[in-house]
Amino acid sequence: MKAVRMRHPSCWRDTNKTPMDLDRLTTNPVDTQWVSVSVERNQQCNLHAGIVHRTGENEVKKLHFGWHRSLYNYFVTGPVVCAIPDVAKPAHRLWLAVFCGLVADNIPKRNIPYSLKHDEDVAFDERTGEVKFGNEDSGLNCATFVVAVFRCAGHPLINSKGWPKASIDDIAIQKQSVRSMLDSSDPDIQQQGRKNSRDIGTPRIRPDHVAGACLEKEAAGPARFAACEANSAHVVTALDSHLACQA
């Protein structure tokens, strides 16, 4: 696979003068400086987010929440675009990679329901001390899993205050996901699908929003919707250009 590194200059949006750095978008996961947010297209051509984390010299793995109670960590295959978050301190980058490794090591313990909602509070189990990535009442999806991991590690990417309600496109994708769950032969997945059906229309943090958040400067704090939305277009364009090159 030929790696394409986006060579756009850093630019300033006129709207709020927040710096955005497209140099941190890459199609080569090995460029990941310890940790990055990956975006790819799944079989349904929908966007899917994960975390690419460095596990060794020139070795990276992708940690991602694939589906209901299905967390994966394996080598990156297929075309992806990775957004490297602006984490200035090497110690912080190293910590994020170590934290992702810890989450990956504990995959058998992470029994995460698939949810449409964004659970702002990563629960801390008062009895066992275990960090919960979403509880049974809510859960996570691929994008909110990434958001939760970064927040838990002390590096929140997104400020979800004021996030708008789902757009027509978002609702279509939410309905598609609920339908898939209801059509499943697994009663547990069906039950979760019924729960999720009540959340159709809930604000949706998209995979490209999370990657877009990485293009903001760390000093500006967790990215709000406007910045994520603006940056997401660059992420999708980069991904689709890469896919076109691959075709």
Partner 1 sequence: MAVFESCLVELSDFDENPRASVARATRPRFRVVVQNALQDALQRSIELKLTLSQDAASPQKSPPAESAARAPAFSVDDLLFVCFADNRTVVPDDDRARTADELDTIYGLDSRGLHRQAMERVARYVDELLNSGKFPECDAMLTAAKADELSAPVLVAFLGITLAARGKLGFRASFYDRAFARVSHESGENEASELLARYK
| Footprint of partner 1 (CB under 8 A) | 88-92, 94-95, 97-99, 101-102, 105-106, 109, 122, 124, 127-131, 152-155
- Cβ burial, residue 105 (10 Å; 0-12/13-18/19+): exposed
Min. distance of Cβ 56 from partner 1 in angstroms?
9
Where b means 16+ CB within 10 Å and e means fewer, 60-71 reads bbbbbbebbbeb
Identity of the residue, 45 or 91, whose beta carbon is nearer to partner 1 in the bound complex: 91
Min. distance of Cβ 115 from partner 1 in angstroms?
20
Is-contact 201 166, C-beta < 8 A?
A: yes
Ordered DSSP codes for 185-216 = S-HHHHHHHHHHHTTTTS----HHHHHHHHTB
- Cβ burial, residue 76 (10 Å; 0-12/13-18/19+): buried
Q: Which residue has the tokens 């080598």?
A: 75
Count of helix runs (H) and strand runs (E) in the chain: 6, 8
Identity of the residue, 146 or 230, whose beta carbon is nearer to partner 1 in the bound complex: 146
Q: Which residues contact 112 (CB under 8 A, 6 or more apart)?
A: 65, 69, 71, 133, 134, 139, 140, 145
Min. distance of Cβ 32 from partner 1 in angstroms?
15
Identity of the residue, 140 or 178, whose beta carbon is nearer to partner 1 in the bound complex: 140
Min. distance of Cβ 98 from partner 1 in angstroms?
5
Min. distance of Cβ 220 from partner 1 in angstroms?
14
Min. distance of Cβ 89 from partner 1 in angstroms?
6
HSE (CB half, 13 Å, CA atoms) of 183?
Answer: 6
Min. distance of Cβ 130 from partner 1 in angstroms?
5
Identity of the residue, 24 or 155, whose beta carbon is nearer to partner 1 in the bound complex: 155
Identity of the residue, 23 or 130, whose beta carbon is nearer to partner 1 in the bound complex: 130
Identity of the residue, 148 or 189, whose beta carbon is nearer to partner 1 in the bound complex: 148
DSSP, collapsed to helix, strand or coil, labels residue 67 as strand
Identity of the residue, 61 or 155, whose beta carbon is nearer to partner 1 in the bound complex: 155
